[in-house]
Chain A
Amino acid sequence: MTHHPKERPNSLSRRGFLLRSAGAAAAVSGAGPLLAACGSTTSESTGTGLEGPGGLPLARPDKRVTLPRWEDPIESGLKPETGGTFTVFNYPAYLYRKLLTEFGAKYDVEVQYTPFDNVNSGIQRLASGGVTPDVMEITPDTLDIGVAGELIKPLNLDYIPNLQKNIWPQLVDPFYDGESRYTVPYTCYATGIAWRTDMIKEDIAGMEQPWDIFWESQAYKGKVALLSENRETIGMALLRKGITDINTEDPALVNQAVSDLKELYDVCNIKVDDIQYRTVPEGSSWLHQAWSGDMIAGYIYYLPKDTPASALAYWKAPHGKVPVQNDCFAICSTTEKPVLSHLFLNYLLDNGVAYENFVDFNGYQPPLNEIDPSTLVQKGVVPENLENSVLTNEELGTDSLQYGTLTSQGQQLWQDGYSNFLAGGGS
C-alpha cells in the first residue's frame, strides 16, 4: 500500500501535457520550474537535498519539506456545491459505503466510488485522463508526483477544522507536506509479521531478529508469504540485516537485499500477495509479512467463528526500527466541487466518522487523538493479543522509519530489484 494515483485536469490538453512534460524534464535536470514559477507561494523546501519528480525535494521524517503551491487555494467562506455526482478515488473497499451515502445525503450529491488496483496503476489512469474524481487517496511517497504534475489542488485549511482538532499533532503539519498544503491524513499502519499461533511453533516476538523467521520457515513451505510491494519486501530484507535506511539508493545494498530474498525460494517456496488480512485469519497462510491494519480487519471480518482470536499474532519492531506509514486524502485538480471536496476531507477527519470507518468497516486506524490502544481492547474492538496492531502517535515521530519518495533512478533500482525477485529461481 505505497502509491496512489492522481488525476489530470480536464482542461489540460494533450499539447499542454507534453509541454508540461518537457518542462518537467528540465526540472529534473536542474532548477525546478515549478519551484520557480510558484515562488510567490513557496516557503521552505528543505528535504534530503535529493530531487524527486518535478525537481521537488525529497522529504524524510527528519527532513521536512513544505511543497510549493502551484495555484492559490480556494477562498474561505464559500458555499459548498450541491447536486450531481461526487467521485471518490480509492482502493477497493477502503472506505465505508454507508458513510459516503450519509455525506451524499447531507450535501445532496450522489457519491460515486471509483476503485483503483494499486497506486501505480492508478497513476497511469489519472495521467491518461481516464478518471475525473473529486478526491482521492494518496500516499506521502507519491505526493511529489501529484504536486509536480499539478494533479492535486492546494488546500484551504479553513474548511478543515477537524485536522487541527482531532488529528495527531505530527500529522497536522507532517514532514512530507509541511503546513498540510495538499493532504490530510487518512489511516496509519506499521509493517510487521502476522502469523498463526496454532501453526507456527517458534516464538517469533522473542527471536533476536524476528525477520529471520522467513529464512527459518522450511517447515511451513507453501504457507509463507511476503507483501507484493517492492518497497516492503526489499525494505524488510534491509531491516533484517540491520540497515535502517529503507530509502537507500545504494545498488550494493539493494542488490544484496534482493539476493537474500531469493534464498527464500528454496527455504519455503515464498509467495507474494496482499491478501494477508484474509489468508492468515482463514488459515491458508500461516506466516505473512503484514500491515498492522490487516490484523484488525482480519479479526473483525475473516476469523472463522470457531477459531479463537488467540490464533492470531502480530509482531512489529520497536519504535525507530519499524516501518510506519500513513495514507492521505487530497483534492484532485479535476474536481468541479472544490468546496465540497474540502468538506469531504473534513468529514473524514470527524471523530465519529473516522472511528466508525475504522471499527465497523476498514480495520485501518485513523490517526485520531482520541484513539488509544488500551481503550480499544477494553471496548472489545481489538483483542488483547493484537493490541500492538494499534499505533500511537509517538510511533510516527521524526525518528520513525518511513518509506519516502525516491529519485527516478532510485525507483528504477528498487523496481528492477523486485523484478529480479519476482522472476523466481531456476526451475
Chain B
Amino acid sequence: MYRRWLWPSFALPGVLWLVLLFVVPFYAVLGVAFGTVDPILFQPVPIWNPLEWNVGWLNEVLGRLAPGGIWFDVGIRTIVYVLVSLALCLLIGYPVAYFTARHAGRWKGVILILIILPLWISYMMRMLAWVNLLQTDGYVNDFLTFTHVLSQPRDWLGGSASTVILALVYGYIPYLILPLFASLDRIDRSHLEAARDLGASPWSAFRTVTLPLSKTGILGGAVLITLPMFGDYFTPNIVSGAPSTSMIGNQIDLYFHGGPQPTIGAALTIVLAAFLTILMLYYMRSIHRAQREAGTVGAL
C-alpha cells in the first residue's frame, strides 16, 4: 500500500501547482466570460455554475472574428505575424541550438548563458532599448547606411509589420532555442554514426536522423513561443503603435483595461485559448507518437 502511493505522490506538488495557478484561474476567466457586468462599477460578475452561463458575449466575439466581422483582419494578421515570427525563430534558432549542442564543446555553457542573458533584463526594457536603436538616427540605421545595406535611414518605428515581427522574434527566440538545444543534445551520436557508416551524406544524415529526432524539441519550442505570441499586445504597442499592425492581444487589452464590457475581453481570451488548445493537442499527439515509436511509452 505504502509503495503503491509513494511514487504517484511525487506528482502532488505539480498537480497542486497546476490546479492553483492554471485550473482555478482559467475557470475564473470562464466564469467572467460567461458572466455579467456590474452596472455601476463595470466590474465583471462571474457566474460559477456552468448551467447558468451566459453565452451572449462568446457569440458576440465569434461574430466579430468571423469573415466580415470587425476583428477578422486583426485575427488573420495575428496568425500571419506569429507564423512568420515562428518560421524566423526556427530559421535562426535551430542552427544556434544545433551548433551549441554538437559543436560548441567547452563553450557550450558560455553560449547557453549568452542566450539566457537577455532574459535577465525585463521584456519591457529590452523593447524600449530597441525603440532607441531603431530611431531614424539610431545605431541600426547608422550601421545599415554605413555598410550600404540601406541608401538612406529607414523609418523602422513608423508602424511597419516587419518591425513588429522582428521584435517578436527577438523577444521570444531564447525560449525556442533552449528546448531545442535540450532535444538536440540528447540525440545519441551513435545514430548519426550508423547513418554515416551506411553511406548517408552529412545532409542526408541530418535530414533523416537528426531532424526527425529533434521534432519534439522543435514542437516544444514552437508551442512555448507561439502561445504567448498570440496574446502579445505590448510588442506591437511599443515598436509600432499603428492600428494596422495591432494584434488580437491589443483587443483583449482594450476591453480588460476598463469600460463597460470586460466580459468581451474574457470571451476573446477563451476563444484564443480554444484555438491554442488545438496547437497544444497536436503537440501532445506528436510527443506521444514519438515516444511510442521510440518504445518508451511502455517503459513509462
> Interface-forming stretch among B21-29, B118-126, B144-152, B242-250?
B242-250
A240 to B253, CA, bound (A): 28
- Asked if B73 contacts A425 (CB within 8 A), the reply is yes
Residues of chain B contacted by A63 (CB below 8 angstroms):
none
- Give the distance to chain A from B44, nearest Cβ to Cβ, in Å: 9
A269 to B242, CA, bound (A): 7
- Asked if A423 contacts B246 (CB within 8 A), the reply is yes
- Asked if B244 contacts A411 (CB within 8 A), the reply is no
- Asked if B261 contacts A123 (CB within 8 A), the reply is no
Does B42 make an interface contact (CB < 8 A)? yes
Cβ-closest chain B residue relative to A142: B258
Does A314 make an interface contact (CB < 8 A)? no
- Asked if B41 contacts A149 (CB within 8 A), the reply is yes
Does B193 make an interface contact (CB < 8 A)? no
**A-side interface mostly:** helix
Which of B39, B42, B157, B255 touches A419 (beta carbons < 8 Å)? Answer: B255
Cβ-closest chain A residue relative to B238: A273
- Asked if B158 contacts A424 (CB within 8 A), the reply is no
Residues of chain B contacted by A122 (CB below 8 angstroms):
258
A121 to B39, CA, bound (A): 16
- Give the distance to chain A from B24, nearest Cβ to Cβ, in Å: 16
- Asked if B244 contacts A425 (CB within 8 A), the reply is yes
- Asked if A420 contacts B242 (CB within 8 A), the reply is no
- Asked if A271 contacts B42 (CB within 8 A), the reply is no
Does A426 make an interface contact (CB < 8 A)? yes
Question: What size tier do the contact residues of chain A reach?
Answer: 35 or more
Does A222 make an interface contact (CB < 8 A)? yes
Known: A422-B251, A423-B74. A120 touches B259 (CB 8 A): yes
Binary contact readout B23-54 vs A (1 if CB under 8 angstroms, 0 otherwise):
00000000000000011111101000000000
Which of A54, A121, A273 touches B258 (beta carbons < 8 Å)? Answer: A121
- Asked if B246 contacts A422 (CB within 8 A), the reply is yes
- Asked if B43 contacts A127 (CB within 8 A), the reply is yes
Residues of chain A contacted by B38 (CB below 8 angstroms):
21, 24, 127
Does A412 make an interface contact (CB < 8 A)? yes
Known: A271-B159, A271-B240. A120 touches B41 (CB 8 A): no
Does A124 make an interface contact (CB < 8 A)? yes
Binary contact readout B158-181 vs A (1 if CB under 8 angstroms, 0 otherwise):
111100000000000000000000
- Asked if B260 contacts A408 (CB within 8 A), the reply is yes
Chain B 130-164 interface residues, beta-carbon cutoff 8 Å to A: 135-136, 155, 157-161
> Taking beta carbons and an 8 Å cutoff, which residues of A are in contact with B?
3, 18, 20-21, 24-25, 27-28, 53-54, 117-124, 127-128, 145, 148-149, 151, 221-223, 225, 265, 269-273, 284, 408, 411-412, 415-416, 418-427
Further contacts, 9 of them, CB under 8 A, given A412-B260, A418-B254, A427-B161: A25-B39, A121-B258, A124-B256, A127-B38, A148-B40, A269-B158, A422-B246, A422-B254, A423-B251
Q: List 29 A-B contacts (CB under 8 A).
A: A21-B43, A21-B45, A24-B38, A25-B39, A28-B39, A53-B40, A53-B42, A54-B40, A121-B257, A121-B258, A122-B258, A127-B41, A145-B42, A151-B41, A222-B159, A265-B243, A270-B244, A272-B242, A272-B243, A284-B136, A412-B259, A419-B70, A419-B251, A422-B246, A422-B251, A424-B246, A427-B76, A427-B161, A427-B244
Closest 9 CB pairs of A and B: A120-B258, A222-B158, A24-B40, A424-B243, A271-B241, A423-B74, A127-B41, A424-B244, A21-B38
> Taking beta carbons and an 8 Å cutoff, which residues of B are in contact with A?
38-43, 45, 70-71, 73-74, 76-77, 80, 135-136, 155, 157-161, 237, 240-246, 250-251, 254-262
